[in-house]
A and B are shown apart, each in its own frame.
Chain A
Amino acid sequence: MNESFSASELMTIAAAREITDRDIIFCGTGLPIVVARTAKHLHAPGSVIFFETGAIDSPLLDLPMFVADSRVMAGAVIHTGLVDAISMLQNNKTGPRTVTILGAAQIDRFGNLNSTCIGDYLAPRVRFSGSGGAADAACLSGRTIVFMKHQKERFVERLDYLTSPGWLQGARSREQKGLTRGGTSVLITNKCIIRFHPGKRTMYLSEYFPGSTLEEIEGNTGFPLDLASAREMTPPGEEELRVLREEVDPDRLIIA
């Protein structure tokens, strides 16, 4: 390997590879925008980005810094509002085609997420922004891609607050709660790519990043992780890195 790349570049490219040409991408701020734009430049030109604030198919000439930034508005195909935009997740025609990229403070082995608080809900040690559109996306979109920093305190046995449902208690529990589609399809950390067993809906290590070790991954996960079928991730190609660095985030506003 004569090329070096950062963890956030690996995460972005790993996530971009998950996006298909038919996807309608429910886009949050930060890395998700970079992922969506990278995929669109590379292999998914037909994918469409939209924002919960109401911007549909934004060309994103400049990177927005929050979902209501005027930079999501310029050149969009439609301007609407929250009710209309988030309804596209709940809509039975468009909902199954939507894919969402989420981050969180905590995740459990079933891919459930916490972005509300650490400690007791009413008297938290640390309070976060709250669900926002995250629980809407986790409940209603066709599939969910999750980004996490791989740290033991974030990969927990039990969430302090379940903001966004993944596979709930595993197996068929998600469907039984009335969530008829979606679920966490893949978890991408700064060390690896984790997927979920189709039956039990528990995590297994799918691919580790170049430079990461199984020991390091296991040591930073707060619950047992199935490592049996792990292999090394295919490193980013020249074109993937070029698009990311030169086309998508040339000013390094998002990517470290």
Chain B
Amino acid sequence: MTAGKQKKMMPLSDAIARFVLDGSHISLGGSTANRNPMAGIYEIIRQEKKNLHLYGAIMGPGPDLLIGAGCVSGVELGYFGVGRYAPTAPCFKRYVEEQRIRFEDYTNFQMALRFLAGAMGVPFIPTRTSQGSDIINRWGMDEGYRAGDERTANKKLVIQKNPFAPDPGENVILLPAINPDVTIIHAQKADAQGNVRIEGLTFSDVEQAKSAKYLIVTAEEIVDTSTLRADPQFNQLPSFFVDALVEVPYGAHPTQCYNYYDMDMSFLYGLIDATKDNESLHEFLTSHVFGVHDHREYIQRLGNQVLEAIKADPGLGYRSGLNRSQDKASSRRMQ
């Protein structure tokens, strides 16, 4: 038991260096501006990983920053944006418009189902969604490209008759499973063995975690195993899925972490604004990613006043009365 624990718990820089390689197919947990594994994303950027192939359903500022930092060459997506804050994720938008990235569009349900198929160990999964749409007709990655990488399915999707229905029968859409090389999720709690508890919505984190060859979990806190065992119905991942475990307080900052902290609005606006052009993006990365040694230093620089202001209210899981209007939030200047 102790051996397992020592093997899994490691510094984040070691986990990223060991499991995320140039050209890796990766998926990142969280959704829009909630529970993005930001510490892991910053570390990937710091280590200047290249040519990553990214899978995600509802993706937000974290994965977008990874694109902006030049780490990603392909993306399969359901949605890329930050709701009211950025209807389309700025780097994704710019890279697609400038034809600097390969991309393939699915629906959110389809991406979530593809992770589920991967987690179940089946090669494909049927659905009824997207019939009659261009999601079926238009492919971003053609069969020639797909044939060149065994990790990429040889077709985007397949329409097939339901084999259980009498003729003429209805059509269903078959979607290829996703099995990323690496998934990184940020959870609220884990024990030292690597059993994991996500509080609030799980999004598609559980399926993403279970479909991956290697799983890196960053957690707000490492708790005693008895805490998890007292309420097993609230836990999602058993330790044997987890390959690297890192305790990273504020590991999702500036995105939310239910029951722990809310968005850091001025920082998030600063990040979204910075991703809108290459020069501001360079400044942001220089200051907040390359300019700090690790996530601990990044958080220290924010200062206690900021951390106190975003602390979640017990019972709500977010900060009631958090100032969410852009004008007022911007009054705290970016360093």
Question: B-contacting residues of A (Cβ < 8 Å)?
Answer: 29-30, 52-55, 61-62, 64-74, 79-83, 86-87, 89-90, 116-117, 121-136, 138-140, 161-165, 168, 173-174, 177-179, 253-254
Contact = CB atoms under 8 A, between A and B. Distances in A.
A52 B200 CA distance: 14
A53 B29 CA distance: 12
Given A53-B203, A81-B205, A83-B207, A135 B80 contact: no
B87 to A, nearest CB: 6
Given A139-B130, A177-B132, 10 more contacts: A66-B60, A72-B201, A79-B200, A127-B88, A128-B88, A129-B81, A163-B134, A168-B132, A173-B132, A174-B132
A204 to B, nearest CB: 22
Contacts, number: 210
B204 interface: yes
A82 B87 contact: no
A230 B170 CA distance: 39
A65 B138 contact: no
B32 A67 contact: yes
B85 to A, nearest CB: 6
**Top 6 A-B pairs, shortest CB-CB distance:** A66-B83, A132-B79, A68-B31, A129-B81, A82-B112, A70-B318
Contact of B80 (A54, A129, A134, A162): A129
Interface of B: 30-35, 57-58, 60, 77-85, 87-89, 92-93, 96-97, 99, 105-110, 112-113, 116, 127-135, 138, 140, 170-171, 200-207, 256, 258, 262, 312, 315-318, 320, 324-325
B132 A66 contact: no
Binding site of B, secondary structure by majority: helix, strand, loop or mixed? Answer: loop
A116 B106 CA distance: 11
B88 to A, nearest CB: 5
Nearest to A113: B133
Contacts of B34: 66, 68-70
B173 to A, nearest CB: 9
A138 B255 CA distance: 29
B171 A178 contact: yes
Nearest to A116: B105
A71 B33 CA distance: 12
Taking each of B135, B206, B262, which has the highest tally of chain A beta carbons within 10 Å of its own beta carbon? B135
A81 B262 contact: no
B318 A135 contact: no
Contacts of A165: 131-133
A82 B134 contact: no
Given A70-B312, A81-B203, A178-B128, A129 B87 contact: yes
B133 to A, nearest CB: 5
Given A55-B201, A131-B105, A140-B128, A67 B92 contact: no
Nearest to B256: A70
Contacts of B200: 70, 73, 79
Nearest to B260: A70
A235 B101 CA distance: 49
Contacts of A178: 128, 131-132, 170-171
B78 A29 contact: no
Contacts of B171: 178
A81 B85 contact: no
A53 B31 contact: yes
A29 B84 contact: yes
Nearest to A254: B84
Given A66-B84, A67-B31, A132 B107 contact: yes
Nearest to B318: A70
A71 B107 contact: no
Contact of B79 (A123, A124, A130): A130
B130 A135 contact: yes
B128 A82 contact: no
Contacts of A253: 324-325
Nearest to A163: B133
A55 B34 CA distance: 13
Contacts of A66: 32-34, 60, 82-85
